[in-house]
Amino acid sequence: MPGISTPMLALIIDDGGYNMEYFENMLGMGKRMTFAILPDIPHTREAALKAYEDGAEVMLHLPMEPKEGEKYSLEKETVRTGMDPMKIQKIVKGALNQIPHVRGVNNHMGSKATEDPQVMGSLMEVLKKEGLYFIDSNTSPHTIGPEMAHRAGIAVGRNDQFIDNEKNIKAIKEAIRLAIRKAKQEGKAVAIGHPHPLTAQAIKDMIPEIEKEGIRLVFASEVVR
């Protein structure tokens, strides 16, 4: 029987709202999964509603400034360092308002922004007021997200493993196994993937192995503290 000592793995699928065919391919697995939805894109609301109707948990995937930002095509409303705190909070609130059933937030990119005290302090003020949790996507080894969240009294978790940096089923499965190992060692783990056919197939293939290893798939809200 699953109990308090059962290792937990939260699978988060980022970048929801662009390709609905790929997104819908991630649904229907019958397991607890979490979908992080981007704001200000063609299918933002539709993706959030479909995920919720499928029994998944819904997060805001908040665009935040990366290092070497000139190399990337950034989202329309990206939270940047040097922004006025009121502007940051306006962006965050505006994004949250687009996503029905939102329970928490994680960062999209953000290797620069998550190192910045003013940015993260402004974000945490909104999350505290809205009663939302924060998952640090861990795009920088120097992120202060977890520290700032704890200081603000916000439930927080941290990504342990990106599973599909390499678009190869074997590699994705091996990354999931690393997350399984982490869950066994720590009692819980967070792994992040993306709406891609190979990721969907790898997760479907791995569910029996995850369960055989005694790991319980859970929502992101179940691993935050």
Position 43 in a domain? yes
For the domain that residue 29 is a member of, what is the CATH number? 3.20.20.370
Position 74 in a domain? yes
Q: What band does 71 get if pLDDT is binned at 50, 70 and 90? A: confident
| Mean of pLDDT over the chain | 96
Position 25 in a domain? yes
Position 2 in a domain? no
Answer for the pair 153, 182: CB distance below 8 angstroms, yes or no.
no
Q: Is the pLDDT of residue 1 over 60?
A: no
The rounded distance, in Å, linking the Cα atoms of 141 and 186 is 19
pLDDT tens across 109-134, in order?
Answer: 999 999 999 999 999 999 999 999 99
Position 115 in a domain? yes
Report the number of distinct structural domains present in the chain. Answer: 1
Position 1 in a domain? no
Position 3 in a domain? no
Structural domain range at position 121: 8-222
Position 88 in a domain? yes
pLDDT tens across 118-174, in order?
Answer: 999 999 999 999 999 999 999 999 999 999 999 999 999 999 999 999 999 999 999
